[in-house]
Amino acid sequence: MLKDSDKIFGDQLHEECGVFGVYGVEDAAGIVYYGLHALQHRGQEACGIVSVGDSGRLDVVKGEGLVTEVFNHSNLTSLTGRTAIGHVRYSTTGGGGMMNVQPFMFRHFTGDFALAHNGNLVNSRELTHYLEARGSLFHSSSDSEILAHLIKKESNDTARIFAIIDALNMLEGAFAFLIMTKNRIYACRDKYGLRPLSIGRLNGGYVVSSETCALDIVGAEFVRDIEPGEIVTIDDHGIRSRDYSMYKRRCMCAMEYIYFSRPDSDIEGCNVHAFRKQSGRLLYEEHPVEADVVIGVPDSSLSAAIGFSEASGIPYEMGLIKNKYSGRTFIQPSQVMREKGVRMKLSAVRSLVKDKSVVLIDDSIVRGTTSLRIVRLLKEAGAREVHVRIASPQIKHPCFYGVDMSTYDELLCANRTKEEARLAIEADSLEFLSQEALLAASRRNELCMACFDGHYVTDLYHSADRSKNNDNC
C-alpha cells in the first residue's frame, strides 16, 4: 500500500518548461505573452519575457507565478521592440527561486544575449566542473545556464553562430533552446529530437514555439518543425539552417504525445488528440472489459477515453469534474490544507457512476497517488466496480530528460508486479497499453520510451547514480 505521506502530494507529471519567440513583428512582447499563455500547461511556477528595445538594449520582465500573475499592462508595455523570447517553467533540475527564472540574460563584449531552455542536460555536472575550473561563475542552479557559459568561452575568437555550434556539441540530453541577440534569434533542438520546437510565420516575421497550439493562438501560420540536430537562424535575411550534428535520431519523448502537449498541437506531423484517441481504441483491443460507462481523468485522458468508448461501444460520460480554480496546492501552508486542496481538484458526478461498473481511463501512472484517490472517489460516489485502463505502458524507470520523476523509489510500477500495483490503487482490474500499440498510434518508427523500458537514448553520466535514492526528488 502507499504511505500516507504519498497521498498528500499530487501524482501529475510536470515537464520542465516551454519556450516561445517572436522575430520581426510589432509588439513582439505582447505576442509572446499570448504564446506563453497557450503554453502555460508546460510550466506554472515561473515565467519571463526578454525583448530587444528600439535602442538594441535587452529588457526583461520575469517572476514566479502564472503568466497572468507575472505580467500586466504596465510591465508589458515596458518591453518594446519587434523581437522577444519568453519562457514558462516548472522546476526539475536546479529547483525553484527567482535566480532560476528564465529567460536568462548575459552581458558579453561580443554582444548581449538572452537564452530560454526546455529540457534537461544529463552531463550538467561534468560541464559545470569544466567551466568552473576555467573561471566561470554561475548565477543560478539551473543547467540551462551552462550553454551561455560555453558560448561565452567559445566567442572570444569565434563568430557567434560557430560558438553556439561548438557549445551545442558539448551538450548531452534533451533540449530546445532559443538564443536571442539584438539582431537575431537562434533556435535549436537536441540531436535526438526529444523535445519539440516549431516555426511559424506572422505578419512578415517569424514565431518559434514549443508547441503548434501557441502558433494557432497568436494567428501564426505553421511553417515547419525544427529538425533534430538543427540550428535555425532567424533575422532580417529570413531563415537560415545549419546541422550542428551529423548524428541524428527522431526519438521524440513519448510523454509529449501521451501527456504533456495540448490536444490541439501537432508534433512532427501527428495531432496529439488523434494520437490519444487511437491509443484509447488500441487499449480496448488489447484489454477489453465489460462495463456500464467509460470515464476519462481530466484533461489529458479525455481523448483516450473517447477512443476507448468508440471501440468498445460502452457509453462515454463526464463522470469526473476538474475544478480549474482550486489553486496550486503545493504552496498551501500545512499538510491538512494540502490534503483539502488536493481533494478539491476533482469531484465525481454521483448520478453517472452510482451502481455502475466504471472503466476509468488515465494517460499514465507515476506514483499512484492520484489513481488511488480517484478510485476511492468513484467508489465513495457509489461505483460498483472501477476498472482502470492506462493509455501508456508501465512507468518503471526514471526520466533524466526534464520530467520530474528521477528516482525508482517514487514510481509505483518500478518494483511492483501489475497485480501489486492494482492492489495499491484499490482497482478491480488494471491494464496498460503496450509499447507496440503506442508506436502504432503515433505512426512512428521510434519514440523515446526509456521510462517504460529503461533504454535511454543518451549516456546518463551521473544521473543513474542519483536515481537509486530519493534524496534528489
Which residues participate in catalysis according to the annotation? Answer: 17
All three cell numbers of 67, joined, read: 503568466
- Greatest extent of the chain over all pairs of C-alpha atoms, in Å: 74
CA 137 to centroid of chain Cα atoms: 29
- H-only helix segments in 313-449: 335-344, 350-353, 369-380, 418-425, 435-442
CA 471 to centroid of chain Cα atoms: 23
**What 3-state DSSP class applies to 351?**
helix
Q: Is 3 exposed, middle or buried (0-12, 13-18, 19+ CB in 10 A)?
A: exposed
Number of neighbouring beta carbons within 10 Å of residue 385? 17
DSSP string, 191-247: TT--S--EEEEETTEEEEESSHHHHHHHTPEEEEEPPTTEEEEEETTEEEEEES-S-
Contact 277, 469 (CB under 8 A): no
| Nearest by Cα to 368 from 396, 399, 400 | 396
**What 3-state DSSP class applies to 147?**
helix
**Helical (H) or strand (E) element with 63:** strand 58-64
Angle, to 10 degrees, between the axis of helix 435-442 and the axis of helix 272-286?
140
All three cell numbers of 133, joined, read: 575550473
- Spatial neighbors of 133 by CB under 8 A, at least 6 apart, are none
**What 3-state DSSP class applies to 260?**
helix
Contact 442, 157 (CB under 8 A): no
Q: How many CA atoms lie within 13 A of 86 on its CB side?
A: 34
